Amino acid sequence: MNKCFLFPIYLTLLSLLAACSSRQNFTNPVISGDLPDPSVIRVNGSYYATSTSSEWAPFYPYFKSKDLINWTQIGHIFDVQPEWTLSSFWAPELYELNGKVYCYYTARRRTDGITCIGVAIANSPEGPFVDHGILINHGKEAIDAFIFDDAGQLYITWKAYGLDDRNIEIVGSKLSADGLRLEGELFSLLRDDEGIGMEGQYHYKEGDYYYLIYAARDCCGPKSNYDVRVARAKSFTGPYEKYEGNPILTGGKQYVSVGHGTAVKGLDNQLYYLCHGYLSGDNVYQGRQPILQQIKMNKEGWPYFVTGKEASRNQPLIKAAHKQEKSADFKDSFDSKSLKPEWTWNYAFATNEFELVNKQLHLKGTAKPDNDYGTAMCVRPTAQHYTFETQVVNQNDASKGLTLYGDHKNLFLLSIQGNEIHLKSVKDGKEDLLETVVNDANNVYLKVEVNRGVYCDFFWSTDGRHWKKINQEAIDATALTRWDRVARPGLIHIGKANAPAIFSYFKMNKASI
């Protein structure tokens, strides 16, 4: 047979095989960016998920999916900070009750800084959520709530004694039928006898046993060693026996660490665990990203993950799920009536300091202490090599432009002030001017390229096409990584409200390696 005739058939077969392969698998993370401690529920054929927002506002980003694989951010649990809260917006947990969606969440109390568990309720799974205040105030710290229905009796469990000179415990209480009050005496389900940490629990029942899946070891940072473990009992209240095969999920070649999640039935009626993981290598600087893995039971009656004990990015596609879409680049032309839900800002310094006017973003400032660096609006990085840019369309005495932002005292900024472009670093509140460029153009474009997650190059332009590099060598921004979160790219304004920053667009694009 003619070889020239066979060659196109061979290519066609390869294409078909590749297409089939891509349909049969999905790749973690299923939601890109720093979204720790995810919680997921299924309501009326749709999935909803939320996560820790830490020191970023709005509070607890909120997502929707039809298949657990492809997610869209639809908003936040709270657009406005609950009055009782101060900071540390951690570990929200979703639960459906009586046709409503409850969110049990962790935050520090404004009056004394004690970490408590609050509750909010939405009449619809897509909100809005209304806060009902503090539910649990337990000692020095109460975090990581989870709700379980045992034959009609609601229970709530949480992590206790993490700040005390004693072993951490998962403790619980009966919960009222409306989900808003503790009832009866508290009880202990599981204790951290090994002294390695215990939190982020998830409960479910299979056959004769109640299973308690939990996270152990160090949760956070590029050198963390978080893993997933399990215990079981014949009664929900215990006593629980820990599995001799623990941990059942760990980091490894593809992940630094994994843990803290909840599970839900997929479209194939199988159980899938959504937790977070730090990718290994330079991708670690994208933070703790949501990963999905299927759970099954072994013949001894213990759960295991179908792709192995070591967390894997490549997972078999859920039956009836759609093909996984690639995470998109981000762009905002500010031509809508409201900000895109991907935007975040430092909650303590930026609330209500921006507005959209004539397809432009006006970012305003207020009188701040000298060592608080402005109003920053940022997005979550979704790649280890990316660029972000903007156009500043006004001149005044305020400093305005781009930032790679760790917190209000640790950041890099490329900004325009008068007719000067400044490249500055801020470390522990101390400012260092690295470079200055004099430019008299009214409209200036600024761009930052980030490689390997933290190495930055800074550029400026008068037309947005021809770029001039400011720094001589790439600048290392590793120090911006906070203990519980990673640096975010975005816009910044440092100045007074009567001297705003005006931006015509912002975009963040993944770059080829």
Contact between 492 and 403 under an 8 Å Cβ cutoff? The reply is yes
Catalytic residue among 67, 131, 199, 227: 199
The predicted-structure confidence for 218-239, as pLDDT tens digits, reads as follows: 999 999 999 999 999 999 999 9
Spatial distance between the Cα atoms of 423 and 420, rounded to a whole number of angstroms: 10
Spatial distance between the Cα atoms of 292 and 408, rounded to a whole number of angstroms: 33
Q: What does CATH list as the number for 330-510?
A: 2.60.120.200
Q: Check if 268 is active-site.
A: no
Spatial distance between the Cα atoms of 68 and 42, rounded to a whole number of angstroms: 9
Domain spanning 27-316, CATH architecture: 5 Propeller (2.115)
CA 26, 28, 34, 37 dihedral sign is: positive
Q: What is the pLDDT of residue 442?
A: 78
The predicted-structure confidence for 13-47, as pLDDT tens digits, reads as follows: 444 444 444 458 999 999 999 999 999 999 999 99
Place of tokens 């993944």: 510
* C-alpha distance from residue 32 to each of 27, 272, 330, 382, 484 (Å): 11, 18, 12, 5, 17
The DSSP string of 194-238 is: TSS--EEEEEEEETTEEEEEEEES--SSTT---EEEEEEESSTT-
Q: How many residues are listed for the chain in this entry?
A: 513
Q: What is the pLDDT of residue 348?
A: 59
Catalytic residue among 34, 37, 192, 332: 37
DSSP 412: E
Q: Check if 432 is active-site.
A: no
Q: What is the pLDDT of residue 5?
A: 46
Spatial distance between the Cα atoms of 159 and 201, rounded to a whole number of angstroms: 8
The predicted-structure confidence for 142-170, as pLDDT tens digits, reads as follows: 999 999 999 999 999 999 999 999 999 99
* C-alpha distance from residue 463 to each of 202, 228, 418, 441, 442 (Å): 53, 51, 18, 10, 11
Q: What is the pLDDT of residue 349?
A: 56
Q: In 348-397, where do the E strands start and end?
A: 354-357, 360-363, 375-378, 386-392
Sorted by where each begins, the domain ranges of the chain are 27-316, 330-510
Q: What is the pLDDT of residue 13?
A: 45
- In tens digits, the chain (513 residues) has pLDDT values of 454 444 444 444 444 444 444 458 999 999 999 999 999 999 999 999 999 999 999 999 999 999 999 999 999 999 999 999 999 999 999 999 999 999 999 999 999 999 999 999 999 999 999 999 999 999 999 999 999 999 999 999 999 999 999 999 999 999 999 999 999 999 999 999 999 999 999 999 999 999 999 999 999 999 999 999 999 999 999 999 999 999 999 999 999 999 999 999 999 999 999 999 999 999 999 999 999 999 999 999 999 999 999 999 999 999 999 999 998 999 999 999 999 999 999 865 555 688 999 999 999 876 454 546 788 999 999 999 999 999 999 989 999 999 999 999 999 999 999 999 999 999 999 999 999 999 877 789 999 999 999 999 999 999 999 999 999 999 999 999 999 999 999 999 998 888 899 999 999 999 864
Place of tokens 């969606």: 101
Residues 6+ apart with CB under 8 A from 259: 200, 215, 216, 217, 219, 226, 227, 228, 249, 275, 276, 277
